[in-house]
Every structure is written in C-alpha cells, then in structure tokens.
Structure 1
Amino acid sequence: MKTARRLDNLGTETAFRVAQAAADWKGQGNQVYPFHLGDLNFPMAAHIVEAMNQAIRDGKTGYCPGPGIPELRAALAGDIGSRRGMTIDPAEVVVTTGGKPVITKFLQAVMDPGEGVLYPNPGFPIYESQIEYLGGTALPYRYVPTDDGFVIDLDHLRASIDDSTVAIIYNDLQNPISAESTDAEREAIAAIAQEFDLWVLSDEAYFEMRYKGRSKSIAALDGMRERTVILYTFSKKFAMTGSRLGCAVAPPVVAEAISTMNTNDESCTTQYVQWAGIAALQGPQDSVGRMLEVLRKRRDATCSIINSIPGMSVAVPGSTFYAFPDVTEAMEAKGIATLADFSTEALHNTGVSFCTREHFGRKQGWENRSYIRLAYSGIGENEITEGLGKLRDWITQG
C-alpha cells in the first residue's frame, strides 16, 4: 500500500539523530559530553510543579477550550504585552502545545500550495520542513559573518521575493547562530514586510534568554501588529521543555484559524499544564535569574575554550544558549572533508557530541565555511571544560 507523496517533503529536527548517535556511543561504555540538544538540565521551579499538581488534585484534567483557558490567555496577554510595549487582547492569544505547533499552524493559515515563504538559513530546521511539507516554496535567506556575530543579508533577502511570496519567518535571537538584530536590521525587515505585503512569523522563543539588555519585538513596530504572529514558548525561560506549552499572539483572523486548527488537531492543550503556566508567569521569577547566571558561566567557558583552539573561532553571543563556531581550518588541519565526518570523529576521539550547520536547513551554494553548533544548556561547566579540553587536544594533535 502506498503512503502520501507529501511525506517525501517532511523533514525532521535532526538534532535528535545526533542524540541517538551519542546515546549509542555512551551505551558502549564511552564518556559523552552532550552539546547536541538544546534541552535544559534545570528543574521546573517548585511553585510551577505544585501548581500543576494542585490542578490535577482539583480535577482540572478534562477538556478545556481549544484556544486555551481564559485565565492563561489573560495572563499571557498581560505578560507578553508588557515586555514588548504592546497592549494585547486575550482574544489574540491562542494557547498551543509548545511553540513548535505555531510554525505549522501559521503556515497553514497564510500559505497556499505553491506560494513562497522566506526563512532563515541556517535556522530552525522545522521552518524548511513545514513549508515544503505543506506544498509551499521554501525561500532561504542568508546570514553574513562579522567579528560580532551574524547579520542578515538584506539585499539577498529582498532579491528572493517574487509575486508568489506571502510570508517571512523571522527569528530574532536566533537558533542556531545566536544572531540578534540591531534596531536598524529589525526595522529593515519590517519595511520589507510592509512593502511587499508579507505576513511575518516572529519566532520569539529566546526573547528572554539573554545576558544583558532588553529584547524588542518586530510586532511592536509601526505597521507590523496587523501582519505579525508572535511565537511564544514556556520551554526556555521556565525550563518547561517537556510540558509542551506555548502560544501564538496573532491578528484576529489568524488567531481564529489557529484556534480552529487546535480543535481539529489536539482538541486542547493539557488543562493542568495551562494552570502551571499561570503560576510560571505570575509566581516568583528568581529561578529564571539563577538559570541565566549559570548559562552565562557556561557560555563564557564554552567560548573561551573554543577561541583557544587553533582553527576554530566564535563570537560571544549575547543571548540564547548556543555557540556557532567556524571550524573550517580545524577540519583542514585534521584532514577531514565533511562536517558529518568531523562530528563522528570528534565524538569517537573526544566524546564531544554536537550538531553541525547541516542540521539547520539545507546548505546553500553560497556557503564556503564550515560551522558546528554547541548547545551549553544541558551540560555543566566542569563537563564543558573537560570535554572541550579534550577536543582542543585532539585538534592540536594534527
């Protein structure tokens, strides 16, 4: 029996394949230093756990409204709006099972088959996967490396737009490269969206995962509110990756569409998890600050050692929990031709497990440098120092 042809266009989050290779290597009795998966090895705060347990004890275990319980939608509207300088109506908030479903449901709401969607490349691989799975044309836009990190090639982005283009996915505080837009770059993206009448998905998963300064949302710029959908998740800030709780903040026509999709797809987001989300938003925030301070130390250790390795270099990111070093010369020194081989050889010789640029969207013809991604969200500072020290020794052996 045949399966649907559209499955040929469905990609995956290939970091999980790296995780399997690391698990297999560890299962053979080897030490593994896990830099591959952007999960957090921090517990949920006790008051969030208690709110979830109390909701279960109170019988909040049945169906609830598809767009989310009113109390959580109101709490999200207030919190998201206040942090972005916006006034958000709870009716514009649609609760989802994590942030990831917002990508798919946004595309289903605004893109017909054959229409084009711009997306960051390298970028979160589900963008490319879902555009193509749903029959759209995936239009990658590129980043240019600088001494301070990566910037969007605005000329290339503009040149990629044609009459079939309907939307742009914009990930400020970006996974995997940790790029953060300047005000000028953000305003330029907004101007392009308005000039070409594009919908915008603003993926703000890491909006508050930053080590200094304050994040800004493209949705708050003049003329952007009515064309922008914000992707919000509890996964990062509150270390709730497995709880699967997020939301879309969307113009009414898209909010209604996503709410209808919720009813069709999963009926509703788990009710007792939503009550935990209210506690996360309205309860003590000290655990968030402590987590960021630990992540800052891990970032500093990671970048310091990477920049001490011959043939490797990385700009110190101001946000997220990823480093995206250039390893071109290190690969050449080892006589390794491909990133896949570099990843495997590093794992087998040092125990260091990481994703590569090729796990984050299809590599493009203009790329002539090689990069890897190191996630320091799920590995302690001592392990970082030990593991990357072994990687440095291996690289310097020639």
Structure 2
Amino acid sequence: MYQTQRGVNSMQHLAQRLERLGTETAFSVAQAAASWKAKGNLVYPFHLGDINIPTAPHIVEAMSKAIADGHTGYCPGPGIPQLREALAEDIGSRRGISLSPDNVVVMTGGKPVITKFLQAVMNPGQEVLYPNPGFPIYESQIEYLGGTAVPYRYLPTSQGFSIDLDQVRASITPNTAAIIYNDLQNPISAESTAAEREAIAQIAQEHDLWVLSDEAYFETRYEGVSSSIASLPGMAERTVILYTFSKKFAMTGSRLGCAVAPLEIAKVLSTLNTNDESCTTHYVQWAGIEALRGTQEPVQQMLDILRERRDAACELVNAIPGMHVAVPQSTFYLFPDVTAAMEKMGYTAVGDFASDALYKTGVSFCTREHFGRRQPGEERQYIRLAYSGIDVADIRDGLGRLRDWIATA
C-alpha cells in the first residue's frame, strides 16, 4: 500500500484551489444511510436522485450491439455526427428553435456542461449568479475555477417557489459574467412562469450576460408543457443549454449528455472535451441515438410510475403534522417546509432532525443545507425528498413511520 512520506504537512503541497472545491452533498447522506443499512436497519432512500427503474431494453441492446460492432475506440471530441444530428433535431423541435449539429457538443453527462461553460465564459475574479437553494455543483465549480459565486434566492408561494427577481437585479455588477438558470429546479421543483422566464431573459440581455440554462428535467414532467429560455427572442445567441440522458431515459450511470451552444462557445467546449477526456464513450453514444429515435413508450411508462410516486408522497407529506408542500408538476423532488414539525419536536438544527429521522424511522433525506449556503434572512426549515429511487409501497411505509414519529413526539 502506498504511503506518503510527507506526514502531517503533506496538504501544504496540494493546490490551494482544492480548498474551494465542494461536492454533491447528497452523496454524503447516502453514505450515512448505507452505513445504517449495513448494520441491519431498514432504510427508506429519499436522499439521492437516482432512478430505480432500469434503462429500457432497446437502449441497452443498442449499446451492446455497438460494442459488438466494434465501436469501442476513440471518436470525435464533440460527439459522433449521428448523435449530434439526432440531438439537434430532438432538442430544437421540442423548444421551437433551429439547431445545427454544430451547436451540439456531446459530454459525459450534464455535470461537465457546468464546468466547461464556466471555463468558457468566466475569468478568475468574475461573478456568476446561481440559484440557492440549488444544485451544489454550481457553487462548487464557480469558486473552484476562481470566480465569485453570487447566490439568488427563491420566495415561497402557494404554488411552490418563485425567483426573487429584485435580488437578482440588485446582485448584478459590472463584474458579472453570467447567470445560471435552472427552470424545473433541483432541489425545490420550482418552475418559472412565462413572465419570470421573460424577466430573466430581459436581465441577461440588459447586462450582456451569458446564461447557462440547466434543463435536466425539461421532459420529466406530469402536467403542462416545458419552455426554454433559449427560445425567447435574443436568447439563443447567449444561452448554453444543459441536456442529459440521465433523467428522461433512466441512464444515470451511462454518463451521457450534451451542451447546446452558440457556435463560438460550441467550438470552445469541443476543445475542452479534447483536453479533458478526449471523447465521450463511443458505444454509449449509439445507445443515445436509439434513446432519441427509438420507441418512447418506456419514457411515458416511467413518467406514469413517477407521477404515482409523486401523488403518494405529496398526500402523505401533507398529512404529517407541521409539514406541507405544494404539488410540483415536474422533476422528482419535494421540498417540504418542516419548520412547524421541528418546533413541535424541539429541534433547532435541521441536520439533527434529519439524523434522528434516519435512526428512528429509517427515512433518509437531504436538507436545505445540502443545496448551498443559507442566505441572510432565511428562517424557514426545509428538507428534500427524492422519490425517483423508491417504490410507492416503501414511500407509504417510510413516510407513515415519519408521520408517526412526529405525531407522537
């Protein structure tokens, strides 16, 4: 086993920027849940947004065929032409915008789009606005790459949450380079109204900002129709769309996604691909073509399953004393307010509430603190429940146990 010779002072030899690197904090909750389960305890996994529905057989078969056909070597850095063409057609038609394959840069999932977007548009010292609560990799990568992460908040409404547009406007300075915008949002399931989307577009144009539109859940929805900020006038030329196969096609482990970008940015992203990983796994890209152009019946079947889980989870959460949540039309997350429940039980720290819930009920979940630093003035307490990896029967059993624990406190 390799042993360092530098002893306790070895950290001084590592790059200082590592001190600014965060992580996807849901995985730390997963470790605690796995440890508790390994001791023989029952765990209800509401913590991680993975999907316990298998990738559709025709997609798996396409991947296996691609391997058998010898698609196991290098391929073009921005992706194979057939997949880029399929993505341009599918993404463009669903958003009402005209795309060329040259606008599409294939990547190993959605996360690399965040990092490479920031590398392309943000200089060290510049500011980037990002949603908070939000996907923690936004904040992590802005700071790791030497930028200043400027959070903007959401305000609770009867329908869920809305962006604090006044805060967004007040946060912009001459040093602001970009804004990260996550419509159909993780963790809070917020969806912009048309007016809110147009307001963000107007702000971006007024201040000449680049926009990263994270659309990972664009088609994970149960009612209504999704819209992209890139389809608004004047936005296609300043917007990079983050697209992933992970959610829509239950391909989280396949690591396949893409950036849809103006040509000047697409060329930069392609060069970054070549520098970072050479190319996205060749045979997985052929599976992506089949996912896009093959039967879409498994997609609808998965949405039906997720809708049933959403409905069960919302019903049960709203029956728990001191907890309430609006019913979201998209994603597979709930972000209930648990302030009254915590007060009833004597908790002041939501982390303590979450830990005791795991050990006393088996219900494992993330909290608001896992999705960015709490902003000044935040007084309400929230948790995130992901229902993508847990069946309806376990949703009912787990949330029933949580309800009984809280009710009898």
TM-score band w.r.t. shorter chain = over 0.9
Cα distance between partner residues in 1 of 2:229 and 2:98: 14
Give 1:365 shift: 1.3
Give the Cα separation in 2 of the matches to 1:126 and 1:164. Answer: 21
Rounded Cα–Cα distance in structure 2 between residues aligned with 1:130 and 1:17:
18
**Map of 1:61 onto structure 2:** 72
Q: Select which of 64, 67, 72 maps to 2:83.
A: 72
Q: Does 1:310 align with 2:324?
A: no
Query: What is residue 243 of structure 1 aligned with on the other side?
Result: 254
* TM-aligned CA deviation for residue 384 of structure 1: 0.2
Secondary structure of the residue aligned to 2:246 is coil
Measure, in 2, the Cα distance between the counterparts of 1:215 and 1:36. 26
Q: Which residue in the other structure is 1:365 paired with?
A: 376
Give the match for residue 342 of structure 2.
Answer: 331
Match of 1:181 in 2: 192
Query: Is residue 160 of structure 2 the alignment partner of residue 153 of structure 1?
Result: no
Q: Which residue of 2 aligns with 1:129?
A: 140
Matched, 1:199 2:216: no
CA distance in 2, matches of 1:172, 1:318: 12
Aligned counterparts of 1:25 and 1:397: Cα–Cα separation in 2: 23
Once the two structures are TM-superposed, the CA of residue 397 in structure 1 deviates from its matched residue by 1.0
Kindly state the Cα deviation for residue 164 of structure 1 after the two structures are TM-superposed: 0.3
| Pairing 1:47-58 to 2, within 5 Å after superposition | 47-58=58-69
User: What residue number does 1:24 align with?
Assistant: 35
Q: Which amino acid aligns with 1:69?
A: I
Amino acid at match of 2:218: F
What corresponds to 2:149 in structure 1?
A: 138
1:36 equivalenced with 2:42 (yes/no): no
Quick one: which amino acid aligns to residue 405 of structure 2? W
> In the aligned structure 2, how far is the partner of 1:271 from the partner of 1:362?
38
Q: Which amino acid aligns with 2:138?
A: Y
1:290 partner amino acid = Q
Helix, strand or coil for the counterpart of 1:236?
A: helix
Q: Quote the residue 2:20 is aligned against.
A: 9
- Report Cα offsets for 1:41-83 as digits up to 9, x if no partner: 0111111001000000000000000000000000000000000
Letter in 2 for 1:209: T
User: How much has 1:254 moved relative to structure 2?
Assistant: 0.8
Q: What does residue 298 of structure 1 align with?
A: 309
Superposed CA RMSD: 0.5
Percent sequence identity over matched residues?
73
Q: Which residue of 1 aligns with 2:130?
A: 119
Q: Secondary structure at the match of 2:243?
A: strand
Q: Distance in 2 between matches of 1:223 and 1:87?
A: 13
Amino acid aligned to 2:70: G
Letter of the aligned partner of 2:171 in structure 1?
S
**1:190 Cα offset (Å):** 0.1
What is the Cα deviation at residue 213 of structure 1?
Answer: 1.3
Matched letter for residue 42 of structure 1:
I
How far did residue 90 of structure 1 move? 0.4
Shift of 1:212: 1.1
Find the partner of 1:260 among 268, 271, 288.
271
Secondary structure, aligned partner of 2:161: strand
CA distance in 1, matches of 2:397, 2:61: 36
Match status 1:287 vs 2:298 = yes
- Given the two structures, how large is their TM-score scaled by the length of structure 2? 0.97
Q: Report the Cα distance in structure 2 between the residues aligned to 1:298 and 1:55, rounded to whole angstroms.
A: 34
What is the alpha-carbon distance in structure 2 between the residues aligned to residue 17 and residue 137 of structure 1?
25
Once the two structures are TM-superposed, the CA of residue 336 in structure 1 deviates from its matched residue by: 1.2
Per-residue Cα deviation, 1:119-164 (whole angstroms, up to 9, x for no partner): 0000000000000000001010000001110000100110000010
Which of 109, 123, 129 is equivalent to 1:98? 109
For residues 147-191 of structure 1, what are the alpha-carbon distances to aligned partners after superposition, in whole Å with 9 as ceiling and x for unaligned?
A: 110000100110000010010000000000000000000000000
Q: 1:230 is matched with which residue?
A: 241
Q: Is 2:354 aligned against 1:343?
A: yes
Mapped partners of 1:241, 1:366: distance in 2: 36
2:164 and 2:220 map into 1 onto residues whose CA distance is: 24
CA offset digits 1:294-335 (Å, max 9, x no partner): 100100110101101111000000000000000001011111
Distance 1:172 1:225 in 2: 16
| 1:46 alignment partner in structure 2 | 57
Amino acid at match of 1:336: Y
Unpaired runs of at least 5, structure 1: none
Q: Distance in 2 between matches of 1:311 and 1:213?
A: 30
Give structure 1 regions of 4+ aligned residues with deviation exceeding 3 angstroms: none
The structural deviation recorded for 1:366 is: 1.8
* Rounded Cα–Cα distance in structure 2 between residues aligned with 1:293 and 1:357: 28
Per-residue CA distance 1:76-132 (angstroms, 9 max, x = gap): 000000000011010010000001100000000000000000000000000000000
Q: Normalized against structure 1, the TM-score is what?
A: 1.00
Alignment size in residue pairs: 398
Deviations 1:343-387 (A, max 9, x none): 100001100000000000111112110000000000000000000
For residues 150 and 232 of structure 1, the distance between their equivalents in structure 2, rounded to whole angstroms, comes to 23
